[in-house]
Structure 1
Amino acid sequence: MMNPEPTGKTCSVIIADDHAIIREAIRDLLDNSAANDSRPYTVVATAENGLEAIAAVKAHQPDLLFLDISMPLASGAEIIHDIRRWSPDTRIAVFTGISAAGVLAGVVEAGADGLFSKALPARDMVTKLPLLLSGGRYVAQEFAELLRRGQQSGALTARERQVLNMIVAGKSNKEIAGELYISPKTVEKHRASVMNKLEAHSVVQLMARALQDGLIDPSPASMG
């Protein structure tokens, strides 16, 4: 069982999101929760992009970071990796609208302590802060389900991921074999394995599942 946080100790907070309205909403929630919380929160800095977030954490070494993982200049797991290097004791509460299982899994593996959905009321996130600050971890239920569903896709080998991206790009087995210096028969085995792991029965289904799980880059350049 986790030990409760010391009464009266102030929790220093950084809020990182590229939308000012969200930064202010979280600040207001923290201010309003102070009356009923044994550990009041003090916002020491805000950031509107990934590089600002990393710099602010490095400068302030906060107890808690609210982090949107989809921001300009730096995003996702790369921010968390840098934060863990500069301020390993900072607790990281990620809040996001992203639903790609591959991206979410990467964030959790990078060291996020909490994973919350922007589709849910922000006050729900604030109620979980004592758990995070006492050393616990929390993943929103809808994300936990996505991560469970994405476990199969996460089991793709590096070669299978290569084949997947080439299939989605419209390449034939012969073309894939030529680029990877393997036989068409081996390509067919990889294709069958990928289709099975992602529970896809057509290339269209395969593309949809791969995009959903964050296994391919959805930009036009990657699709041509």
Structure 2
Amino acid sequence: MTDQTAVIADDHALIRQGLRQILTSAGIEVVAEASDGLEAIAMIRSHQPALLTLDIAMPYSRGIEVFGEARRWSPETRIIVFSGMTSTGLLSALASAGADAIFLKREELETFSEAIPKVMSGQRILGPGVRELLESTSNIDMLTARERQILSLVAQGLNNREIGERLGVSTKTVDNHRTNLMRKVNVHSVAELLALALREGLLDASRET
């Protein structure tokens, strides 16, 4: 691994251009750019850069998968993740997996620019938007496995009767679980429950099953 090199992985050309300018200004040589997940993995294996900037949502291979492959093939590479998604579950998973920095795409580029030398020196950074999301996270971790299952099925658009048939329980049992989970996460309507499911990434997960 050569000092002060970087690979940029993002499927938007304008974002890659902006990141290249920032990295170059910071004295970091951009040795490759990738526009999809598979290309990103190949560039990481080939160059083993000091730094990877990673879009968490790219074609062909999801960012979380690219993150794992980057850690596998180039464990010393520092990884800065950019996310357009605000799922606290995803952001928490990335932080727990050892991302060196995590930023929301909506945050100011100056925030990212100021973080580069800190990341390169070994500090771990969370962007202001990410910190806010994680600090104000819901009580979803308090839900039981059954309550999480019902929340996911609600996110798919199933009503209590349909959920009961799917799980082999009574409609009354489903209603009790639903009432309990809404109380735990402090929401008071189906619309708020769906917003929670979207924020936690459960809507995306339901589409994949």
TM class by smaller structure: 0.7 to 0.9
**1:96-131 Cα distance to aligned partner (Å, 9 max, x none):** 332232332232233311011222332321221222
> Within 1, Cα distance between the matches of 2:142 and 2:69?
26
User: Is the CA contact (8 Å cut-off) linking 2:34 and 2:43 kept in structure 1?
Assistant: yes
Letter in 1 for 2:46: A
> Within 1, Cα distance between the matches of 2:199 and 2:183?
16
Q: Please tell me whether residue 115 in structure 1 is matched to residue 102 in structure 2.
A: yes
Partner of 1:26: 19
User: Is the CA contact (8 Å cut-off) linking 2:48 and 2:77 kept in structure 1?
Assistant: yes
Partner of 1:143: 130
Partner of 2:189: 202
User: Is the CA contact (8 Å cut-off) linking 2:103 and 2:126 kept in structure 1?
Assistant: yes
Q: Against the structure 1 CA distance between its residues 64 and 151, is the aligned structure 2 distance closer, same or farther, given a 3 Å change threshold?
A: farther
Give the gaps of 5 or more residues in structure 1. 1-8, 35-40
User: Is the CA contact (8 Å cut-off) linking 2:89 and 2:200 kept in structure 1?
Assistant: yes
Secondary structure of the equivalent of 1:128? Answer: helix
**Runs of 4+ off more than 3 Å:** 154-158, 182-186
> Within 2, Cα distance between the matches of 1:207 and 1:12?
42
Identify which range, 24-33 or 67-76, moves more after superposition: 24-33
Q: What does residue range 116-131 of structure 1 map to in structure 2 within 5 Å?
A: 116-131=103-118
Deviation at 1:151, TM superposition (A): 4.6
Partner of 2:151: 164
Secondary structure of the equivalent of 2:140? Answer: helix
User: Is the CA contact (8 Å cut-off) linking 1:156 and 1:194 kept in structure 2?
Assistant: yes
Partner of 2:8: 15
Q: Against the structure 1 CA distance between its residues 149 and 213, is the aligned structure 2 distance closer, same or farther, given a 3 Å change threshold?
A: farther
Q: Against the structure 1 CA distance between its residues 165 and 120, is the aligned structure 2 distance closer, same or farther, given a 3 Å change threshold?
A: closer
**1:123-145 Cα distance to aligned partner (Å, 9 max, x none):** 32122122222222111122111
Q: Taking structure 2 as the reference length, what is the TM-score of the superposition?
A: 0.87
How many residues of Structure 1 are paired with residues of Structure 2 in the alignment?
207
> Within 1, Cα distance between the matches of 2:120 and 2:141?
29
Work out the percentage of aligned pairs sharing the same amino acid.
43
Deviation at 1:169, TM superposition (A): 3.2
Q: Please tell me whether residue 216 in structure 1 is matched to residue 203 in structure 2.
A: yes
User: CA RMSD, aligned part only?
Assistant: 2.3
> Within 2, Cα distance between the matches of 1:78 and 1:198?
29
User: Is the CA contact (8 Å cut-off) linking 1:102 and 1:154 kept in structure 2?
Assistant: no
User: Is the CA contact (8 Å cut-off) linking 1:210 and 1:216 kept in structure 2?
Assistant: yes
Q: 1:83 aligns with which of 65, 70, 74?
A: 70
Q: 1:188 aligns with which of 162, 175, 178?
A: 175
User: Is the CA contact (8 Å cut-off) linking 1:102 and 1:215 kept in structure 2?
Assistant: no
User: Is the CA contact (8 Å cut-off) linking 2:107 and 2:129 kept in structure 1?
Assistant: no
User: Is the CA contact (8 Å cut-off) linking 1:16 and 1:49 kept in structure 2?
Assistant: yes
Identify which range, 207-216 or 57-66, moves more after superposition: 207-216
Give the gaps of 5 or more residues in structure 2. none
**1:173-214 Cα distance to aligned partner (Å, 9 max, x none):** 333223213344442332123212321111121112211232
> Within 2, Cα distance between the matches of 1:172 and 1:120?
37
> Within 2, Cα distance between the matches of 1:116 and 1:98?
10
Deviation at 1:84, TM superposition (A): 1.3
Identify which range, 194-203 or 58-67, moves more after superposition: 194-203
